[in-house]
Chain A
Amino acid sequence: MSKPIYLDYAATTPVDPRVAEKMCSFLTLDSGHFGNPASRSHSFGWEAEQAVEEARKQVAALVNCDPKEIVWTSGATESDNLAVKGVAEFYAKKGKHIITSKTEHKAVLDTCRHLERFGYEITYLQPELDGMIDLAKLEAAMRPDTILVSIMHVNNEIGVIQDIAAIGELTRSRGILFHVDAAQSAGKVPIDLDKLKVDLMSFSAHKCYGPKGIGALYVRRKPRVRLEAQMHGGGHERGMRSGTLPTHQIVGMGEAFRIAREEMAQENERIRMLRDRLLKGVQNIEEVYVNGDMERRVPHNLNISFNYVEGESLMMALRDLAVSSGSACTSASLEPSYVLRAIGRPDELAHSSLRFSIGRYTTEQDIDRAVELIHQKISKLRELSPLWDMYKEGIDLSSVQWSAH
């Protein structure tokens, strides 16, 4: 059985061979680079530290910030936890109101819900039907006791790009800190933290052809952003995040971000063409809806609802394609995607959606084969679908009284 065609880059990406090679040189004994970067007393430690600082520069370079503003974490989930809880705890005396959106990743949403148990009030903004956050509504939600706004740059399910430049202007003018989850945008969308009025930004390596288990949090120094550390211990990362730094992981992330910086523009072009090819291939199928704004969207993502076909059965039918319905983290639950719900998709459409995410190693053949399979399987599943029959007969399904069993 051959491997499925991988179109789930938004869930995770393969490690770029150049990244893997760099990492290996920090894992083997003969290279001598296995030292604890915090060991001050010998060259094993010094070399490891040097490698860590080099990688820090590489990450900073992709987003145009000072390397000192990069804090290593175990991933974007931890970065999100650190940003939101860190600000909430440090600035608690200033206020306990936080604004976020209903379409954030669970790492932000669950953290916010956790804070609600400690007397924090959270406003969860509803996006518009195209997935975008309305700035007027954001402004209206701001209060004197608002200490943080957390809005993701690119949504993991529908790929829409929020206007973080404009949001940053708004938050800065009100003296409110602005956190951005950039797990899905770093390496895909240019980010300039010198210009953007963003105070905290979360990064993930494994969404950008780096290894799993390593990420970073950008913490602005000018003006200075303070945080309550969430992992206490040896004082690493200027006291913001303790724990032995995993040299090989960090080196991997650095290399991944270096490659992204050099190849992003070109890669985006190629990926856009592939995505458009995919869209063209399935657009002619009846009752197909793209979720999320097509213009303000990363070229890598295509989230489509196939009406009258159930998402999980479609995924099973499309066994030869690795895609996802809903986000990876929550694919264990059978609830319809909360992101699609938030942009106003009725449950049935939300249930029949698939997220296709294209990446560095996707080929034209992959896309063509995917289109072929989609046509095949949709026809087949619709043949079996009583709802499809009813639709074809012109019955308005919303007027049907369904009886319970």
Chain B
Amino acid sequence: MIYLDHNATTPLDERVLEAMLPWLAGAYGNPSSGHALGRAAHAALEQAREQVAALAGAHPSQVIFTSGGTEANNAALKGVAARLPVSCLAVSAVEHASVQQPVAALVRSGWMATTIPVTDQGEVTAQAVSAALGDGTRLVSVMWANNETGVVNDIATIAAAVRAAGAVLHTDAVQALGKLPVDFAGSGAHLMSVSAHKLNGPKGVGALLVDKAVDVEPLLHGGGQEKGRRGGTENLAGIVGFGRAAELAQAELAARSSRMSALRQRLEQGLATQVPQAVVFAAQVERLPNTVFLALPGIDGETLLLELDRLGLALSSGAACGSGYSEPSHVLQAMGVTADIARCAVRVSLGVGNTEDEVDTLIAALRTQAARLQAMAATAW
């Protein structure tokens, strides 16, 4: 199988596994225990915190470990809202479900939500954000990079606008961390969500980065861990894994980024010459170096995916979470893409393990499938 679905999840780096094993199979102290085993566990926890902080451009004290990106997003939005009087929030039209759904929950409890529109290229501009801010807007959420299109937003400029309006900015950087330079402190965002399994770390662990100035109600009560900000015995092996993955990502960021860009370019050029009917979404704006969201007009995306899987190529139609549904991508909808084209969308998300040959195989497969399925569609009733 050729795995091309890295935005859904990534394989664990062997070096990360190596770092995790002692904490999985050997040392087992509870980091809150006072004895030697507990203290050793605590030390490992704090080292991982520093590693994640370094990659994210944050201070270690700003890092709260969570069970993943979904929890970080929930903790950010519900946590900020819980400490404010019910008012207004603004969220972009292209957020991941783990931002949209907590927002929906807040709306059910009385908050008013404004949707920040995107351009036809899927970008959230600072102007659009400013236009969406009203007098009562206290909270804004705009993702750093989109999981489907790969579009990267200018968070620094957006943050400036949000701060000027006296509101708090949360950014879901789950897809950005490890793929491009992310500087929490420099960005001006107040809260930022990240997840380990998107950067060759283990599933089940992530972090919420919080600016000291922001008042946040914990999502999980009890136990007092994470300085009272997130209760629950720490997933030590997972956190150590996250730390190591972050350390490696930081050291190799430039190399990984340029490698993925090169592969993406090869793919897009190959499509242009061999599958000219392919439409690449958001081609004109800055995107993650590994993501190509495309459509072969007239060819149903789900059908194409299953054919590609048969041929040994693993892609997806957008968010993994949503891959059980047959609804078209809300991201494409927000970009004004018609339902006809949107239902044809398939996402390629490359990883460091992919090769030029694999990209060529994909191109060839798309070319053949495009021709085959087109012919079938032509002869069908």
**A residues touching B (Cβ–Cβ < 8 Å)?**
3-4, 6, 8, 11-15, 17, 20, 23-24, 27-29, 32, 34-36, 38-45, 74-78, 80-81, 105-111, 113-114, 204, 206, 211-214, 229-236, 242-249, 315, 319, 322-324, 328-332
Contacts and interface: CB of A to CB of B under 8 A. Distances in A.
B137 interface: no
A244 B28 CA distance: 25
B326 to A, nearest CB: 10
A13 B14 CA distance: 25
B1 A32 contact: yes
Closest 7 A/B residue pairs (Cβ): A213-B235, A234-B321, A246-B204, A107-B222, A233-B98, A74-B67, A232-B101
A230 to B, nearest CB: 7
20 contacts: A11-B33, A12-B28, A15-B24, A20-B21, A39-B316, A41-B309, A41-B314, A45-B323, A74-B232, A78-B220, A213-B236, A233-B74, A234-B70, A246-B68, A319-B36, A322-B33, A322-B37, A328-B33, A329-B225, A332-B224
A149 B183 CA distance: 46
Contact of A42 (B73, B223, B316): B316
A41 B323 contact: yes
B12 A34 contact: yes
Q: By CB atoms of chain B within 10 A, which of A105, A234, A236, A330 has the most?
A: A234
Given A12-B29, A106-B223, A23 B12 contact: no
A247 B98 contact: no
Given A74-B232, A243-B98, A213 B309 contact: no
A162 B17 CA distance: 41
A204 B233 CA distance: 10
Contacts of A332: 32, 224
B33 to A, nearest CB: 5
B247 interface: no
B74 A77 contact: no
Given A106-B222, A107-B221, A246-B202, A34 B11 contact: yes
Interface of B: 1, 3, 5, 8-12, 14, 17, 20-21, 24-26, 28-30, 32-38, 66-71, 73-74, 96-98, 101-102, 104-105, 195, 197, 202-205, 219-225, 231-238, 302, 305-306, 309, 314-317, 319-324, 353
Nearest to B27: A14
Given A42-B316, A107-B221, A34 B34 contact: no
A105 B232 CA distance: 11
Contacts of B20: 27
Contact of B34 (A6, A14, A242, A331): A331
Contact of B203 (A20, A41, A249): A249
Contacts of B8: 35-36, 38-39, 45
Q: By CB atoms of chain A within 10 A, which of B8, B12, B35, B309 has the most?
A: B35
A228 B121 CA distance: 36
B67 A81 contact: no
A242 B70 contact: yes
A6 B20 CA distance: 21
Contacts of B36: 3-4, 319, 322
A323 B238 CA distance: 25
Q: By CB atoms of chain A within 10 A, which of B26, B32, B309 has the most?
A: B32
A309 to B, nearest CB: 17
A43 B309 contact: yes
Contacts of B101: 232-235, 242
Contacts of A41: 5, 302, 305-306, 309, 314-317, 323
A141 to B, nearest CB: 22
Q: Is the interface of A mostly helix, strand, loop or mixed?
A: loop
Contacts of B221: 81, 106-107, 110-111, 113-114
B97 to A, nearest CB: 5
A211 B12 CA distance: 17
A17 B34 contact: no
A220 B194 CA distance: 33
A328 B38 contact: yes
B222 A230 contact: no
Given A233-B321, A243-B70, A324-B34, A214 B25 contact: no
A319 B5 CA distance: 50
A319 to B, nearest CB: 8
Given A20-B25, A42-B5, 12 more contacts: A29-B11, A36-B8, A38-B320, A41-B306, A43-B309, A77-B233, A106-B223, A204-B233, A214-B235, A232-B98, A244-B197, A248-B203
B323 A28 contact: no
B315 A213 contact: no
A236 B322 CA distance: 10
Given A74-B232, A78-B232, A242-B97, A20 B32 contact: no
Q: By CB atoms of chain A within 10 A, which of B71, B222, B302 has the most?
A: B222
Contact of B17 (A6, A28, A42, A108): A28
A73 to B, nearest CB: 8
A3 to B, nearest CB: 8
Contacts of B5: 35-36, 39, 41-42, 44
A111 B222 contact: yes
Contacts of B323: 38-41, 45
A331 B33 CA distance: 6
B320 A11 contact: no
A4 B96 CA distance: 47
Contact of B235 (A17, A40, A74, A319): A74
A244 B322 CA distance: 11
Nearest to B322: A234
Contacts of A32: 1
Nearest to A109: B222
Nearest to A6: B37
A77 to B, nearest CB: 3
Contact of A231 (B12, B38, B70, B202): B70
Contacts of B315: 41-42
Nearest to A115: B221
Given A29-B353, A74-B232, A246-B203, A42 B1 contact: yes
Contacts of A212: 30, 233-238
Nearest to A249: B204
A27 B12 contact: yes
Contacts of A242: 70, 97-98, 101, 321
A229 B108 CA distance: 13
